[in-house]
């Protein structure tokens, strides 16, 4: 890691900010406006290139409607050099969830309250993806 590389915690927090922002359907511009900063600063936070201060993270949590702990969820301790709870697939999963299609699927699933319909959505996705997992 060079001096300019973002710390894995900063990248993780930034990814969680981005994921939540996309899940609530908010643009970087709107989040920046609500925080009193530029969208470029939001981009830097999301990439992990700029650290988010404690007070700013609290402000972000209020705007995005989640507790501060949300931004640290799935983060492992210092004993895990990868820094993530799920090592190999975490980046692929985060990337898929942050894509426009992933956000739309997550939003549809989260807005579906009927357990039977949720099961149908899951089975349809598994079938279409030829998923062989659990």
Residues 6+ apart with CB under 8 A from 58: 68
pLDDT digits (tens, 9 = 90+) for 11-55: 899 989 998 998 888 999 999 999 999 999 999 999 999 999 999
Answer yes or no: do 71 and 125 share one domain: no
Q: What is the pLDDT of residue 60?
A: 97
Helices (H), 1-134: 8-23, 28-35, 39-47, 54-64, 90-98, 100-111, 115-129
> What CATH number does the domain containing 21 carry?
1.10.260.40
Answer yes or no: do 18 and 39 share one domain: yes
Answer yes or no: do 71 and 131 share one domain: no
| 102-110: average pLDDT | 85
Answer yes or no: do 70 and 22 share one domain: yes
This prediction has a pTM of 0.66
Answer yes or no: do 92 and 112 share one domain: no
- What's the rounded Cα separation, in Å, for the pair 11 and 51? 9
Q: What is the pLDDT of residue 91?
A: 62
Answer yes or no: do 94 and 116 share one domain: no
Q: Is residue 2 part of a domain?
A: no
Number of domain units in the chain:
2
Q: What is the pLDDT of residue 66?
A: 95
Q: Is residue 77 part of a domain?
A: yes
Contact 74, 90 (CB under 8 A): yes
Q: Is residue 34 part of a domain?
A: yes
Structural domain containing residue 72: 8-98
Q: What is the pLDDT of residue 83?
A: 47
Q: Is residue 3 part of a domain?
A: no
């Amino acid at each position: 890691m060079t001096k300019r590389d973002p710390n894995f915690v900063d990248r993780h927090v930034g990814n969680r900010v981005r994921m939540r922002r996309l899940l609530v359907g908010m643009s970087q511009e709107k989040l920046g406006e609500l925080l009193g900063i530029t969208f470029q600063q939001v981009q830097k936070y999301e990439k992990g290139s700029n650290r988010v201060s404690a007070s700013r993270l609290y402000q972000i949590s209020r705007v995005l409607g989640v507790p501060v702990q949300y931004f640290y969820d799935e983060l492992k301790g210092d004993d895990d050099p990868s820094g993530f709870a799920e090592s190999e697939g975490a980046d692929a999963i985060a990337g898929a969830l942050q894509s426009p299609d992933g956000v739309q699927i997550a939003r549809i699933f989260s807005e579906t309250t009927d357990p039977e319909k949720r099961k149908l959505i899951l089975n349809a996705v598994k079938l279409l993806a030829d998923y062989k997992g659990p």
